[in-house]
Chain A
């Protein structure tokens, strides 16, 4: 009987050894593989409005439009120079059409036609009058409580996802 028991124990051990081998071959989660570095890049972002749409009541007066904008140089020129930055290709925006207003969150995509591009300052701007130069920065891409800007680099073929929190009760410092 002992020999048959030993035989069974051996079988169980072999079973487990095979099982562990199987596990070691299994693939778990892994960071996404880098994609081929060709073609234009893409900056994809989500704006989260802290407090949801109810907190838009605390937004600076006159909500005309909201846009996402990035700049390759920092500090920025005065607000009047922003258009020039855009024309010179040193800045990008989410479009002249406004992103959705009075919502809990909004998303945007900005193609990067000439990668690689490093944005030293990326922000969410609220236009507060019909004059395009009247902009108030309401959110900055940052990992610091003091809103120190965090650079973003978009390479060829890269898609970079970012998230920006906008808290109308705690606006970042204005860069111009």
Chain B
């Protein structure tokens, strides 16, 4: 590491580079120790921390895959600028990654006492994805079925209602007020810079919905220089191998365009993003057209950079066919005969929020966050007397969080949270659900080198009109210890819960032969997550080559699980039906080699048991195995392949097959999906700031289903170009 000074005016400016080849490091974290001030390096490796009082400071510079360094910096009394260059040595990934969501504050991943998967900008960008589920499908222990995320077996099949995983965008909750589900198309993917997946019950900090874990998305922080990104893709689904499944005269196309602009001007940062997508789909009546826009504006008020106000607006609109399930396995790309092929769904989502962050002189941090997430959907092109499924819902969320060090070895995070969900639907009128919550978490360093204990809990009061109110207490105790021999050990016990959504309580809809009946007496569902884990990094050579290893043993005990249940009359009703237990082991290996070659693999084995019926918990795979290989072919061309294996779901609800609502509901196989891509960096090859990617998803055209009566996408070929100015 080397650094040098020259004085200018009141600011620390610098550049972070790789010690071996001097390439700039994009996204390195620079923090002033003890002050909660910091910055991230931009695409040129540059960073700037402004308005710092004169004095002596210690900077901590971290970057994924590199050794963290501490350096001393003196700000002269004339408020000069200090310029530094920091060269980082490559090391291992685990020791330097920064995690925000696990403890609702910035901390090193090694201090986090639960399993966390971190996907940084590079790994997101390289996968060439347009939806967040395409990223999550390759996170160890995570399974995605349509718009439903399951972490370590937390969810099965729930008609897309009631996510057991919380979803946050820059800290703002993104579960809909009516169905409590995720809207993947509403997320500004091109601006997502990092994804954190916290595994296990997270209700001690996040309250309802965090039964199985938390997925947090963070958008990009603008750099001093303007960043203009134009990304476009176009491709086709290849025709299925079976004539019965061919429903289009030509391979159905898909294409999209995103344009974004971001820049920082002194105290003002802003980001604008707009995009559109079209997908004809490999199935009939499943086409979709989407539009989305995102804007984030952040202003730092005072000269000491202690008060920052950030506003976010994110909107998305979707016009899509009303696909529910197939006609039969023999005609798996067609909807059921007698369904209305012209029926369409219009769906709009909008999220608006602000975040006021103030740093007090005693280094306490006050975060005030308030936002609203609006969702609206309705059907059109209906037949006479055909019933529309429509809903208009608003989720208001306000939170005040205060964090500070009480003593040198104790850190406190505390907050209050109010959520109001208001739903207006023709089938059940207007309903309101309200949560009032308080939480506190203390992190203590009890004097043993490397040991951090975490104790906390949250109290939630939930009230939905016409229904019983519920008090829920979600405690948590956890610890992490970085042993002197370089292994991080962690252990945690925490409680999670999810209150039933408005849709689960009041839904009284009828669609394609399925009648859903309301249930006002439904109770929240609970989980208790136990986990013990360890991680370390082993050197593979005398250079920076490393093998990163992580192992976790977990046991998630769940009770009062709300499942869509087929009653004896054939109707569906959401009931508290099941006590369950999912225990298992998760092993992750990842190489980091200096020649660009890389492999990562994760294996999750689970034993999901329905304790009520003493049988396997339905709709769960017991083995998840995800692997990835990166091979540099030439200097500027890289080949990547991802392989995803999920063992055959052992059990589905036999009543569904028996009642005949979904033909061939029991058609299921193990999932083997292989994606391949060739990434060509044209900037390095011809001097144009263009990255071209040739994508082949499900390259072996493997046919499978992730949920009953739905054939998953077959092979998709596409080309994507991204220009970065």
Contacts and interface: CB of A to CB of B under 8 A. Distances in A.
Interface of A: 1, 4-5, 8-9, 12-13, 16, 19-20, 23-24, 26-32, 46, 48, 50-53, 103-105, 107, 141-143, 145, 150, 161-165, 167, 169-170
A13 B632 CA distance: 12
B570 A32 contact: no
Contacts of B540: 5, 8
Interface residues of B, number: 57
Contacts of B595: 5, 9
B703 A1 contact: no
A170 B384 contact: yes
A101 B242 CA distance: 39
A19 B643 contact: yes
8 contacts: A1-B541, A4-B541, A5-B545, A26-B702, A50-B513, A105-B660, A163-B660, A170-B383
Contacts of B599: 12, 16
Nearest to B541: A1
A53 B340 contact: no
B571 interface: yes
Contacts of B597: 5, 9, 12
Interface stretch (B31-39, B130-138, B666-674): B666-674
Nearest to B513: A48
A170 B385 contact: yes
Interface stretch (B325-333, B365-373, B467-475): B325-333
B125 interface: no
A31 B245 contact: yes
B430 interface: no
A16 B643 CA distance: 9
A27 B571 contact: no
A73 B305 CA distance: 84
Interface residues of chain A: helix, strand, loop or mixed (majority)? mixed
B104 to A, nearest CB: 38
A165 B338 contact: yes
Interface of B: 242, 244-245, 327-330, 332, 336-342, 383-387, 510, 512-513, 515, 540-543, 545, 569-571, 593, 595, 597, 599, 627, 629, 631, 641, 643, 659-661, 663, 667-670, 672, 674, 700, 702-705, 711
B627 A51 contact: no
Contacts of B337: 141-143, 150, 162-163
Contacts of B627: 16, 19
A4 B597 CA distance: 13
Interface residues of chain B: helix, strand, loop or mixed (majority)? loop
A52 B543 CA distance: 69
B670 A26 contact: yes
B411 to A, nearest CB: 42
Pick the 8 closest A-B CB pairs, nearest first: A48-B513, A28-B703, A52-B515, A29-B703, A170-B385, A46-B660, A165-B338, A104-B570
A28 B648 CA distance: 11
A167 B510 CA distance: 12
B267 to A, nearest CB: 48
Contact of A5 (B570, B593, B670): B593
A29 B332 contact: yes
Contacts of A19: 627, 643
B242 A30 contact: yes
A52 B661 CA distance: 13
A32 B629 contact: no
B471 to A, nearest CB: 36
A12 B330 contact: no
B397 to A, nearest CB: 36
A147 to B, nearest CB: 10
Nearest to B517: A52
Contacts of B660: 46, 105, 107, 163
A69 to B, nearest CB: 17
A167 B385 contact: yes
Given A4-B541, A28-B704, A31-B332, A53 B672 contact: no
Contacts of A104: 515, 569-571
Contacts of A143: 337-338, 341
